[in-house]
Amino acid sequence: MMLDKINLPFNQTTLAAQRSPGKDRRSLDFIALVYAFSDMILSWILNSVFKLDFISAHLIAYIPVSFLTVWFALKKIRMTPSALGMNPRTSLKPYLPGVLLAVLSLVLIWCLLWISGGLSFSWSKDLNRTLLFILLLGFICQGFMEEFLCRGLLQTQLAIRFGMLFAILVNSLVFGLLHVSNNSASLISVSNTILNGLVFSLMYYYHDNIWFVAGFHSAWNFVLGPILGIAVSGMPMPTSLMVSSLDPDKAFWSGGIYGFEAGFLVTLLSLVLVTVYGVLVAKKYGLLKRSG
């Protein structure tokens, strides 16, 4: 395999996963099954019985489901926190920097579109503050769970079996394809999501913990949707602090009805972040000296 010839060293998380007693593939498949089944059942109950909208039902379901899935991985499968990128010595310190980077990135894109006439906005007149708080909790858990599954489990286990570079690339592709059935998905939205997956994978690899990338992911979705009032991966929010209207004539840049993630500005942002993290990874692991 060509990727085998390009050696990226394991980070401490992957090394810990190699030593973890619950690392076999059947155990990991069972974790994913527990997550999928509990999320499906709980979100169906919230949607059908309690008549919550689709987005709210799924985000609320993420709150207990995330705790259940992590508990199952730690207690029943006997994976260690370090093997999942949750090293107790690191704690939650990297979470806030991840949040800040996401906020700054979105504010930059939003301001560029606003200044160029690509969007207009108003303050919401029917903001549901209780629902806004629930969405905050839901997106915190949703961002964490996607990183837990895609980076903490899938990327790490692929790295153990096939090497780190293979894991980063394949995991990014899988992450993008998981969004192919979203409302108004397009070639550029899926391509951008694959690029976003590459950014997340590099963040996870470089920072060697799940907290930074989980903070970035959750903050991106919450600020984009319930704060700015823009669709998150094609999904409009049930309530938002602001209402941002995107100009259809500039959908190439903004992403149109799908949201920023289908816009070329996010393509540029993702390429910048991939480049920055590529350089950081190369410096951290001495790859520049090795290639020279």
Model confidence, pTM: 0.95
| Residues of the chain where predicted confidence (pLDDT) is lower than 70 | 1-6, 22-26, 289-292
Whole-number pLDDT of residue 291: 53
Task: Give tens-digit pLDDT for 37-79.
Answer: 999 999 999 999 999 999 999 999 999 999 999 999 999 888 9
* Type of residue at 253: W
pLDDT for the residue numbered 1: 47
Give the integer Cα–Cα distance in Å for 24 and 41. Answer: 26
Mind giving me the DSSP string for the chain?
A: -GGGGS-----HHHHHHHH-TT-SHHHHHHHHHHHHHHHHHHHHHHHHTS---HHHHHHHHHHHHHHHHHHIIIIIS---TGGGT--TTTTTTTHHHHHHHHHHHHHHHHHHHHHTTSEEEEE-SS--HHHHHHHHHHHHHHHHHHHIIIIIIIIHHHHHHH-HHHHHHHHHHHHHHTTTTSTT--HHHHHHHHHHHHHHHHHHHHH-SSHHHHHHHHHHHHIIIIIT---BTTB--S--SEEEEE-GGGHHHH-GGG-GGGSHHHHHHHHHHHHHHHHHHHHHTTHHHHH-
**Dist. CA 233–CA 259, nearest whole Å:** 6
% of the chain at pLDDT higher than 70: 95
pLDDT at 76: 86
Distance between terminal CA atoms of the chain?
23
Degrees (nearest 5) of the Cα angle 260, 219, 74? 125
Give the residue among 262, 221, 234 at the shortest CA–CA distance from 98.
Answer: 221
Which sign, positive or negative, has the C-alpha torsion 119, 125, 44, 219?
positive
Question: Can you give the pLDDT at residue 12?
Answer: 94
pLDDT of 22 reads 67
pLDDT for the residue 290: 58
Predicted pLDDT at 71? 94
